Chains A and B, each alone.
Chain A
């Protein structure tokens, strides 16, 4: 090595020069007073909803001609990476979508501007989901609940009556047994280790919880919670559900669409997908989730939020106010892709695909439980996947896994407080 100091010196000099020239952050122009033309950006992640969002932006522009909204779509898998990088430098979109798991992270770090809403216009669980320390930071945009989708053809072939809203776990398990046909490779009910779509709801139905109301303690060591989890592992052990390996190889939704799965716990968002698929268009239907000790479904929804360091706070707030209005909800409902959050506007969504009993998703609202979140939800979401997968694949008992998960989750929640 010949004289490394010199080389390092060169590099350091160049780096120093670079650092000097990069001083000064992006300057935000002062908020224009109402009446001055402004262009604000609206960040979202679903390409399928983008045309509807554009419609909303255009409709808003008609009534507020001095504000132009530019819609920016980023694919979901990269949305939050990009958003965090942008927000750190003060460059996040003026208005953007947030979901439950990420909300508290942004709110607690001062990234969001407080909002004014009329809380009676939206489901209570959603309003609470987007509050932080008593202040409202997000306006609910849409919501989804979970329903029991079933394949009518397979039920007919087995001579069974279709599921109803009065079903209980026992009815469901009996049906799953009768519908499973190993010779044809058909299973009764799919049991992937998915929180939102599967076990959150059964945990609530068994009287358990995922996280305490104050967000400080895990609910996984509650015996009721464990009962809610065992509902699924029992199905796998009895072979009424495909094995963990089979479900990893092939997604349960695809199995359902191909007619190799008779029943599926699925979100309201599947309605348009099933309606567009020639195989499921008219051969499936949906009903409310069967009850455990009680009826329950997990409810989740997106919210529109305003970036705290937006250069156009006033314009952004006007836009989110519009987005939270009945008029905007009606436009959203007309496409059938999501259920708008504004009370009383959901009928258009129910009517979008009349072949399905979509009213079931709305009938579940009184029993809906808020999606479990905390300040850094994704940390323990990862733990859920890592640990519960072991119980699902049979390499660990459910009791053991749940206890492990509770311990690790509590440690993570404690860290959040620091």
Chain B
């Protein structure tokens, strides 16, 4: 490790060393986590304190009354349940459907493959606001307005997920599949027994992202539900905003509680990504 392979390259790396790198990490963590910390602090402040300029950092008096007000303002448990159903349905469906489609695009050669993938990609390129009204009318025609399926049905199909996993599959070496095909395995078995386990990091990544997006999705659930009991948390929180004033501390309290499950889910899943990788090295 100490044989200098390039004249300047060795030296500055050693000089940077551990404290320098650590500094970068700490600074990055602070910048990235700072606003979340501020959200936390705000949820304990009073409404008056929020309006003050210059703004205060720590609450002058920590009060939990905002959390009380939150639970009185919203049917929290029901909305939580709706959020969970929405996120789990979308994530589960996407993990299965997108990985299947990704496998199809990456490993099955069929006529028109590039064209169909192009059409898939084009879905990604369309701004979602453009489609809101026609999608609403489709739901109306299907008589699904204001139902739970309306929340997650369009979100079960994803061009993004297909694209992500396709890249993953393309990057995997083909030797295992070749071996299996020579043994007579059909694509379904190859997909299930070989490709899926190898793609675990990609699946985890897609799972986290989809879960989060579904959890935070606001505009679509807002438009498609009218009954408070069918709304997910994101819509419930948005309804806390008044026309002229918003009770920000209560809103922040709601945002924190709504985010907690997702953070927990992330911590758990992240461990899986780190520790559960059984990447059987093919080259060695």
Q: Which residues of A contact B (CB under 8 A)?
A: 1-8, 10-11, 21-26, 41, 45-48, 70, 72-78, 81-82, 84-85, 88-89, 91, 93, 250, 254-255, 257-258, 260, 267, 269-270, 273, 276-279
A88: chain B residues within 8 A (beta carbon): 133, 137
A47 touching B240 in the complex, CB below 8 Å, given contacts A1-B115, A3-B111, A6-B111: yes
A1 touching B114 in the complex, CB below 8 Å, given contacts A74-B239, A260-B53, A273-B244: yes
A48: chain B residues within 8 A (beta carbon): 242, 245
Partner among B52, B115, B143, B227 whose Cβ is within 8 Å of the Cβ of A2: B115
B243: chain A residues within 8 A (beta carbon): 45-46, 76
B48: chain A residues within 8 A (beta carbon): 257, 276-279
A276: chain B residues within 8 A (beta carbon): 47-48
Residue of B nearest to A18 (CB): B138
For this complex, into which size category does the number of interface residues on chain B fall?
35 or more
A-B contact pairs, 22 of them (CB 8 A): A2-B114, A2-B115, A3-B115, A6-B111, A7-B116, A10-B116, A11-B116, A22-B141, A23-B141, A24-B141, A25-B141, A26-B143, A45-B243, A46-B242, A46-B243, A70-B227, A75-B222, A78-B219, A78-B222, A82-B223, A84-B133, A267-B244
**Chain A CB within 10 Å — which of B48, B53, B137, B240 has the most?**
B53
| Binary flags per residue of B235-258, CB closer than 8 Å to A gives 1, else 0 | 000111111110000000000000
Residue of B nearest to A51 (CB): B73
Partner among B46, B136, B137, B239 whose Cβ is within 8 Å of the Cβ of A73: B239
Residue of B nearest to A90 (CB): B140
A255: chain B residues within 8 A (beta carbon): 53
Partner among B51, B73, B227 whose Cβ is within 8 Å of the Cβ of A258: B51
Query: Shortest distance in angstroms between A325's beta carbon and chain B's nearest beta carbon?
Result: 24
Interface status of B26 (Cβ within 8 A of chain A): no
Partner among A72, A250, A269 whose Cβ is within 8 Å of the Cβ of B53: A250
Interface status of B226 (Cβ within 8 A of chain A): yes
Residue of B nearest to A78 (CB): B222
A72 to B236, CA, bound (A): 12
Residue of B nearest to A256 (CB): B51
B222 close to A74 (CB less than 8 A): yes
A75 to B228, CA, bound (A): 13
Query: Shortest distance in angstroms between B198's beta carbon and chain A's nearest beta carbon?
Result: 27
A3 to B244, CA, bound (A): 57
Known: A48-B242, A278-B48. 13 other contacts (CB 8 A): A2-B111, A7-B115, A11-B119, A22-B138, A23-B141, A25-B140, A26-B141, A75-B238, A75-B239, A89-B140, A267-B244, A273-B244, A279-B51
